[in-house]
Amino acid sequence: MSAEGLVSEFEKIVGRKNVLTKESRTAYYRSGFRSGFGGALAVVFPGTLLEQWLVLQACVEGNCAIIMQATKTGLTEGSCPSGFDYDRPVVVINITRVKRLILLDGGKQVVALPGSTLHELTQELQKVKRAPHSVIGSTTIGATIIGGIANNSGGALCKRGSAYTELALYAQVDKDGKLNLVNHLGIRNLGDTPEEILARLEQGDISEDDVEDTDKSASDRHYKDRIRNLDSELPNRFNADPALLHEVSGSAGKVAAFAVRVDSYPLPERKQVFYLGTNDPAHFVTLRQHILRNFKELPDMCEYMNRPIFDTAARYGKDVFLSIKYLGTKRLPKAYALKSTVEYHLNKVPFLPKYLPDQFLYFVSRLFPQHLPKRLLNYRDRFEHYLILSMSDDGIDEARQYLAEEWGQIDGVECFECTEKEQEAALLHRFAAAGAAIRYQTLHQKTTEEVLALDIALLGNDPEWVESPPPEIAEHLDLGLFYGHFMCHVFHHDYIFKKGTDVEAVKAKMLERLDSKGAKYPAEHNVGHMYEAEQTLKKFYEELDPTNTFNPGIGKTDKKRRVVFT
C-alpha cells in the first residue's frame, strides 16, 4: 500500500482530524521529553480499543514500523522515532484518547485501558480509600499506567518496586508477520474474537464471577523484601532484571498493550514527613541500615538531595513548582504539548535562541516571591545533604522514636517534622529537581553541552553512593547534580559539561566506573535509544517481537525488519 493509501486507511478508521501528517503538527509527537527526534509518516490517535486494533492491522499489512506512544514522559527517547534511517514507513500510534478504569473487588485491583493515567488512577482509588501500585515523578504530568508497566518505571515508593504485572491484554506480531491478540487478563467470558473481546472490555461490563482468582502477580509484591537485603549481589531494582520481564512488563513497546490489571493498596490513615540534614553522608548510611534492618514498617518514601541540586531546583525549577501548586496537575500535559509546539516553530527562526519558552518561563518565575519555607532554606545554608523521609501509620512513631533517641543524638545531624505546607513544598521541590538540569543548560547553552542524565541502581551496601567524579572528568564539569531514592539506592546523576567536551567519551568512562562496582543502569527509565540493552533484554525483545515491527532500534538494536526463517 502506498503512503497515501495508508494515511487514507487511517483516516477511515479514526477520522481525518485524528491523523496528523504535517511536519509542524507531528513535531511534538516525533520528539522525546528531554531529547530525541525522528521522522514518521503519520501520528494516529485511535479513540477506542477496536480502532487501535484496526490501526495496528493496517500498519502490519502496510509493512510499517510501529511506535506505541502515550503521554511521552519517558526520559530516554523510547517513545518517539529515533532519526530518519528506518527501512520502512514509521507510524506513531498515540493512545491517549483510549481511557477507562475498571475497579475490581471494591478497588483491590484495577483494569486500566491504554490512555488511563496514574494521576487519574490515584484520584479514582481515593474514593475507595486505596492507593495505586506505583507513584512516579511524572505521575504529575500525565504518565500512563501502561507506559509505566511497559518501561518497568521505578518511582519513589519503598514498599513497592518497579511497575509490573503478569495480567495483560496485548497485540503481538508473530514470526510469520501475523498480528495476534493475546488475552492474559485473567477475566472470563470476554468473547472469542478480538472484536468481541475489545468491545466487551471497553464497556466495562465485568461481573465478579468473571474475574479469575489467579496466582499471577499484578504488582511487584516482593520488593519490600528485596529492599531489606543490604548484601545482595544485585541492586534491588533495575530495568533489565529478568525477574521483572514478562510480556507487557518491561516490553518497551515491543508489543501493543490494550489493558493491564494491577493491584492497589490501602491508603494510610496518617502521614508524616521528616526533613533531615547533615554534612557527612555517612550519617545517612547509618540511618538507612538501621531502618532497613530493624524497622517493622518501611518508609513510604525517602528522597535524597544534595546542595547543588537544591539550589538549581530552587532557581531553575521554580516555574514547575509554581505550576503544579497553583494550576494543578490536570492541565500540565496539555501545557507541555503547547510549549513544545511553540518551541518547534520558534527554534526554526535562525536569529532566536533555542528553547525560548523555557527561558521566558524562567524569567517570569523570578518575579514571584520566595516559594520555599524558611526551615528548608535554613537547612540548605547549614547542610550539604538532605533526606525527605515520609512515614505512615505505625511507622511514624517508630521513626520519631529512632530519630529522637538514636540518630538525632549523633553530632552534626538535625531533623524536624514538616508541617503540611512544608511537606508539600519539600516534595514539590524534589519533583522540580528532575527538570532543573535541562533548564540550567538551556539558560547556559552558549557555554555548556547537552545534559548527560544517568539513573543508576547501586548495590545495597555500596559505600561510595555519593558521587565524586575523578579529576579527568571533573575538569570538564560545569555542574553535577545528584539526587534519588535513598532507601532503594537508585540515584539520578545529571551532568552539565563545559562547551567543547566530548560528552560521549566522558559517558563511556562513567559507565565503565559503574560497571566495575556492580551498578546497573538505567535503573528505572528503560534503555530507550540512549543505552545499549543487556543481552538478556535484547533476547526478551526478540522473543516478544520476532519481526522487529514494534519500536525498532530500542536499546541500540537494529532498526531493520527481521525475517524469521523456520
At residue 347, the pLDDT reads: 73
Task: Find out whether 460 and 489 touch, Cβ atoms under 8 Å.
Answer: yes
The Cα 561–Cα 87 span in angstroms is 7
| Torsion of the alpha carbons at 199, 204, 209 and 214, rounded to the nearest 10 | 90
At residue 129, the pLDDT reads: 95
Per-residue pLDDT tens over the stretch 269-284:
999 999 999 999 999 9
Residue 83 pLDDT more than 70? Answer: yes
For 300-306, what is the mean pLDDT? 95
The Cα 470–Cα 365 span in angstroms is 35
User: Is 0.95 surpassed by the pTM of this model?
Assistant: no
At residue 566, the pLDDT reads: 52
Confidence category of residue 372, pLDDT binned at 50, 70, 90: very high
Q: Which residue has the higher pLDDT, 369 or 469?
A: 369
The Cα 532–Cα 548 span in angstroms is 16
The Cα 438–Cα 445 span in angstroms is 10
CA angle 116–119–120, rounded 5-degree value: 50
At residue 28, the pLDDT reads: 85
Residue 371 pLDDT more than 60? Answer: yes
At residue 472, the pLDDT reads: 87
Burial class of 120 by CB neighbour count within 10 A (0 to 12, 13 to 18, 19+): buried
At residue 74, the pLDDT reads: 81
At residue 332, the pLDDT reads: 67
At residue 161, the pLDDT reads: 85
For 447-464, what is the mean pLDDT? 90
Mean pLDDT rounded to a whole number for the chain: 91
Per-residue pLDDT tens over the stretch 328-356:
666 666 676 677 677 777 777 777 777 78
C-alpha 377, offset from chain centre: 29
For 501-512, what is the mean pLDDT? 91
Task: Find out whether 452 and 507 touch, Cβ atoms under 8 Å.
Answer: yes
Task: Find out whether 99 and 110 touch, Cβ atoms under 8 Å.
Answer: no
The Cα 137–Cα 188 span in angstroms is 35
**Coil, helix or strand for 292?**
helix
Per-residue pLDDT tens over the stretch 407-427:
999 999 999 999 999 999 999
**Coil, helix or strand for 213?**
coil
Q: Which residue has the higher pLDDT, 174 or 564?
A: 174
Least confident range from 53-67, 189-203, 434-448, 477-491: namely: 434-448
For 355-368, what is the mean pLDDT? 86
Residue 22 pLDDT more than 90? Answer: yes
Kindly calculate the radius of gyration of the chain based on its CA atoms and give it in whole angstroms.
23
Per-residue pLDDT tens over the stretch 152-165:
887 788 998 889 99
At residue 464, the pLDDT reads: 86
Task: Find out whether 445 and 480 touch, Cβ atoms under 8 Å.
Answer: no
For 63-83, what is the mean pLDDT? 91
Q: Which residue has the higher pLDDT, 47 or 221?
A: 47
DSSP 452: E
Residue 216 pLDDT more than 80? Answer: yes
For 381-404, what is the mean pLDDT? 97
Q: Which residue has the higher pLDDT, 22 or 35?
A: 22
At residue 88, the pLDDT reads: 96
